[in-house]
A and B are shown apart, each in its own frame.
Chain A
């Protein structure tokens, strides 16, 4: 009898019909694919929004259909969708669901029913979010940070209904994430197979696990903030709403604190950066190690760094609020804690490079993306040093420098890892192999393209070009080169946008026409490549759970017969 847990006798839930197998499925692999497809679909909406923004910025006035209100709505929806509904959902709901049970040798998540609910709540949150595009007044244009009082005050696009759909959708998303997160955490702690000690888990699992714990502790802040703002908006309370004048009359709200919202939002918002980054850190460690045929350098240090980064990220949130006004001592504290995070992060970067050092590097598509991640992440990390310091941050605040920084560090970097990860695990998930040439073409256009987009933005920012502006108008401090740079950025952005069709074509075409994949095409040692079937069947492991005898990084071991030793191979 197959059971869910290594030490549990409950029988595994078995699907009986097509509907319970593929729609109301409790199988973690099916849920992972549902999560991923939904996240990528809504991510495409956000990608289109960014293309529309770039059209306006590169060629102001050429597209009269894009009004100033529309522009702000595109900015807001693009940001929120990308951070929450794409990256968080794809990395944790998608990769977390797929990889955790396979990598730790479990048959499924420990609460399969809750896992299924998690996906359906997530889908509901996406539907409510998309409904925002169709309500009177359109979606909110308050910026992705949704700062009150402007988010719910007259004059902001979508202040009446758009903000309501956004906040309700976020609250549902938090419920969905909590159900998923409880599963990921409990599964890692409870369902590891025999021999899979904590320190034998691949770093992907460590990254996803730590990010899930952080998500469980950070998302409640967003939930509470969303509920309180809904109260302010719909019931007229004054949690966040100060005394205001509207059309000459004093509004009914008084005494609320917009700063309170900012604290709650960033208490969620900063850990969120690492909720997205840590799974990417973990996955990239595995990609680098597998494709360089070397064990990861400093495995224990890598695990500790992940945990320390996760813990520290709860102590830095107010560095997003330097210009909101705060006691200088607080500014000093938050600048210091922010810079301290650079230490464990730098350890990780050095360890990736030392893993590559004298490795037998195979420049396959997943490896290209992994190495590209190291570039963009170092780049975004360094510009973070500027913004982490109060005195340097103040003049750079609200300029394109900030846009360039966070896109490099938490937009482009995790997305590159996601691409790498999809290419890496695609043969296991589908049983087919993608086209190498198309993959490389997709990589080079994307990688060079994102540099063409975001490198010039640093320059714009240093000149003082403000972000979130519909049009720059006439200003003395803006030289003609800014307009030229903006055109160039827009053209590069459209090229990268178009190049993504290569990826989608490759993935969909290969699904049907790709050559059959080897069960372990990269020669990887971790458990998910050792399943009896490819793609893994329901229950993952056949009649007996695998037993683990070693860590996940036995590559190029001297004297071994092959250049990798699977985790399931007993020691001689």
Chain B
């Protein structure tokens, strides 16, 4: 039954009598979908703030204070690691759907950890090159976005540890989905950083 039909049910009439439990997705999937909405709102708000803040100083008639950051190769390497991690989780999910044992979750988790390590190196790299947090709004937004994303990756690693311990199909499925979502958010962040 579609949503509009469900929301226009005349529940006071005897004709509305239905006892069937229509098929429901798992609670975990619904919870994750809701959390995906939360993440989407949070990251898009920061990105909107990023764009607003970028042109602001110039729009007020001052000298432009926004100095874009360079894009070192590490940025690309980290992105590639995250893509591979996501692919590993997809492989793990497909294996789990077929009921096969697979080492892919371990690989996915390890690559996630590598990504976090890579991000840490990226921060160190920028620090060494003099791109400090407070020295420019572009830097501040970069650190803020990567930190927020990193915290979510860290949360994903905890979930991955859980999956490695239990290895049940619904858990692998949810973990893979979460990983894809984080990749999507990272791609949005990376595009924003590369374009500006």
Binding site for B on A (CB under 8 A): 5-8, 110-111, 178, 181-183, 185-186, 189-191, 194-195, 197-200, 213, 216-217, 220-221, 223-224, 227-228, 231, 235-239, 252, 254-257, 260, 264, 267, 295, 299-300, 303-304, 307, 547, 549-551, 553-554, 571
Contact = CB atoms under 8 A, between A and B. Distances in A.
A189 B32 CA distance: 13
Interface string B18-45: 1101001001001100110110011001
A267 B38 contact: no
B103 interface: no
Given A228-B144, A238-B140, A547 B19 contact: yes
Contacts of A8: 27
B9 interface: yes
Interface string B119-158: 0000000000000011001001100100010000000000
A571 B38 contact: no
> 5 smallest A-B Cβ distances: which pairs?
A220-B42, A237-B140, A236-B134, A199-B11, A551-B11
A120 to B, nearest CB: 17
B53 interface: yes
B16 to A, nearest CB: 7
Given A8-B27, A111-B27, A197-B16, A182 B49 contact: no
A8 B8 CA distance: 28
A252 B52 contact: no
Contacts of B62: 255
A238 B137 contact: yes
A195 B53 contact: no
B85 to A, nearest CB: 24
Given A7-B24, A190-B30, A237 B134 contact: yes
Given A7-B21, A7-B24, A191-B27, A182 B42 contact: no
A416 B27 CA distance: 35
B134 A252 contact: yes
B45 A264 contact: yes
Contacts of A257: 52-53, 56
B10 interface: yes
Contacts of A227: 144, 148
B12 A220 contact: no
A191 B25 CA distance: 11
B41 A217 contact: yes
A199 B137 CA distance: 49
Nearest to A296: B12
B69 to A, nearest CB: 14
A383 to B, nearest CB: 31
Contact of B37 (A189, A216, A238): A216
**Which of A200, A213, A224, A237 counts the most chain B CB atoms within 10 A?**
A237
B6 A199 contact: yes
A197 B11 contact: yes
B134 A235 contact: yes
B27 A224 contact: no
Nearest to B147: A227
A346 B6 CA distance: 24
A571 B14 contact: yes
Contacts of B27: 5, 8, 110-111, 186, 190-191
Contacts of B71: none
A255 B57 CA distance: 6
Given A7-B24, A186-B30, A217 B12 contact: no
B140 A231 contact: yes
A515 to B, nearest CB: 35
27 contacts: A111-B27, A178-B38, A183-B31, A186-B27, A186-B34, A198-B7, A216-B34, A220-B38, A221-B41, A224-B42, A228-B144, A231-B133, A231-B140, A238-B134, A239-B49, A239-B53, A252-B134, A255-B62, A255-B137, A264-B49, A267-B45, A300-B8, A547-B19, A549-B17, A551-B11, A551-B12, A571-B17
Contacts of B65: 254-255
B181 interface: no
Contact of B137 (A217, A256, A295, A300): A256
Contact of B31 (A5, A110, A221): A110
Contacts of B148: 227
Nearest to A551: B11
A227 B45 CA distance: 13
Nearest to A238: B137
Contacts of A221: 41, 45
B62 to A, nearest CB: 7
Contacts of A228: 49, 144
A452 B137 CA distance: 50
Given A6-B21, A550-B12, 17 more contacts: A181-B34, A186-B34, A189-B30, A198-B7, A199-B11, A216-B37, A216-B38, A217-B38, A237-B133, A237-B137, A238-B140, A239-B140, A257-B53, A299-B11, A299-B12, A551-B12, A551-B16
Contact of A220 (B8, B34, B45): B45
A549 B140 CA distance: 57
Contacts of B31: 110-111, 182-183, 185-186
Nearest to B20: A194
Given A190-B27, A221-B45, A255-B137, A198 B17 contact: no
Contacts of B6: 197-199
Contacts of A304: 7
Given A224-B42, A255-B57, A182 B35 contact: yes
Interface string B41-65: 1100110010011001100001001
Nearest to A267: B45
A318 to B, nearest CB: 14
B60 to A, nearest CB: 8
Nearest to B57: A255
B12 A224 contact: no
Nearest to A4: B27
A496 B144 CA distance: 46
A304 B9 CA distance: 12
Contacts of A267: 45
A535 B15 CA distance: 34
A34 B27 CA distance: 25
Nearest to B66: A255
Residue of B9, B12, B24, B148 contacting most chain A CB atoms (<10 Å): B12
B16 A224 contact: no
B101 to A, nearest CB: 23
A264 B44 CA distance: 12
Given A182-B31, A239-B140, A194 B9 contact: no
Nearest to A237: B140
Nearest to A5: B27
